[in-house]
Structure formats: structure tokens, C-alpha cells
Amino acid sequence: MAEHKEQKIMVFTELDQNDQGLIRHGIKLAFVFKKELCLVYNLAKPKSKKAPHAKQQIVAYANLVKKEIPALRVSTMVLSEHRSLLPNVLAERHEGIILVANALNFRKYTAMLSESPVPMLFVHPQSTIDSYKQLVQTLDLRKENSDASLWCSYFGRFNTAEVVIVAASDKTKEAKQAIAKNVLLTKKLYEKFNIQHKVYKGTGSSFRNAYEALELALASNCDLFVMLGSSGITPLDYLVGLPERKIMKRAGKLPVMIINPRRDNYILCD
């Protein structure tokens, strides 16, 4: 990333009544991490007749935010990129560090999940759950759990969030060792930054870990669910849908942050 550019919290707008809720979550994250808020609209076609209206609408959104919160840096962006390429464009060229999207339209954004080098945060536009103080984190046998732990640590450091780790319970020796290592590394990270945390030993395998963790999150005062995305996508996933899609359906109005295990993730600049 170019050092002279400011990292941004990027909100995918849809030019409808849902935008207000999405922008509210973006504002909260921009304040937590002291970043610029960027309102984004992606056109379906490069020369779409919708372009002038889109630019006018998101500039109006930005002006309203600036009027209400003068101290917040706000920018806008209208692009026309293939959805699978969009996360790279926003992260690499424009310093996007978190992408905020409408959970109700999750299917629209699935192509981005396996390509994004930054977390995607899916929020229900009517959700008022936005304090991001009580996190539930999945933890399975994959080494990429370190990326999810790092992002949870950011919320702990900059928003005094507490984290509940739900560790998978696999049967094989190798899997047990991998999970134990991930728990140990995650605990060390949180202890280093004095982040309040608890480890809950689940009963499900790594395959079922996200579902078990979500049940705990929904039954508690959790206000952010953090999970790793799919490491591989099979033909069956295209047929019945990604596990993440099932999680989103069950999550309701609970915000869900998905970390991509298939890419090296960018880090937050302090």
C-alpha cells in the first residue's frame, strides 16, 4: 500500500432506503479506527445512464454526513468493475481496509469473498447493533485463524471490545494439535494487548464450528460475529450455497465480519 494514502472504511451503497443504515455502521467503524469514510457505488456497466444519478446521490449522502459530523473525513467513489475484481481495486488502489455491505443482498457479494484481501462486514440495514464491543470469534484448525484473531485484536485495542473464542473440537490428533496451537497463539496476542477474552471449547468439528459459534453469539449479548470464509469452493457450494450464506441467513440483524483465508490480508495502520 502507498504510505501517503489514507486507509478507508468503504461502504457499498445501493441508492435506496437501505443506505442510511449501512452508512451509519460505516461511520461507527470510521470513528473506532480513526479512518476516512468512503461511500462507494459500483455501476453494472461502464457507460451506464445511471452514472450521473449515482454520483449525485452519493455526494448528497457525503454532504449530509459532513454536515452532521464535520470532523469525519468523507469521500465518494463511483466505479464500474467486475464484482470479483472490486475488492482488489478498492484495497490496492484506493486503500480500502474494511468493506461494508448489505447482509440482505449477500448473494450479490459472494464473488468478492474469495478475492478480497480485506475483511467484508455484512450488516442488516435495519440493525441498530453497532457498538462492536462484544465479539464472538470462530476458531478451527486452519492456520489462517491468525488473520481473524488479528482483526478481533484491533477491535479490542481501539474499541475496548471483549472477545469470546469458540474453539472447534476435532477428533484426529493432527487436528487437535492445530486447534490447540491456534488457541495458544490467539491467547498470546490478546494478552499482549490486554484484551479481555474467554475461550469456549465447542463440541463441534472445524466443519461445524461456525454454526456452533453463531448459536452462542445469538444467545448472548454479542454485537459482532467474526469468522473465516471458505478455504475452497466446491461444485456443491455453487449448487447449495456457501456455508457463509447459511450463516448470514441465521445471523439475522447481527453484524458478521468474514475474513478471507485464501488471500494474504492487509493490516490496519495505526
- Predicted local distance difference test score (pLDDT) of residue 61: 97
- Identify any residues that bridge with 224 across adjacent strands, giving them in sequence order: 135
CA 235/CA 17 separation, integer angstroms = 35
Strand order in the sheet with 224-228: 74-79, 36-42, 8-12, 96-102, 120-123, 256-259, 224-228, 134-139, 162-167, 197-201
- Predicted local distance difference test score (pLDDT) of residue 2: 42
| Architecture field, domain 134-259 | 3-Layer(aba) Sandwich (3.40)
Number of Cβ atoms within 10 Å of the Cβ of 116:
26
pTM summary value: 0.94
- Predicted local distance difference test score (pLDDT) of residue 12: 97
- Predicted local distance difference test score (pLDDT) of residue 90: 96
* 8-123 and 134-259 share one fold: yes
Domain limits, the chain: 8-123, 134-259
DSSP string, 163-185: EEEEE---SSHHHHHHHHHHHHH
- Predicted local distance difference test score (pLDDT) of residue 111: 86
- Predicted local distance difference test score (pLDDT) of residue 1: 40
Under-70 pLDDT residues of the chain: 1-4, 233-241
CA 79/CA 89 separation, integer angstroms = 10
- Tell me which residue of 25, 101, 15, 105 sits closest to 58, measured CA to CA: 15
User: What is the dotted CATH code of the domain comprising 8-123?
Assistant: 3.40.50.620
SS3 for 136?
Answer: strand
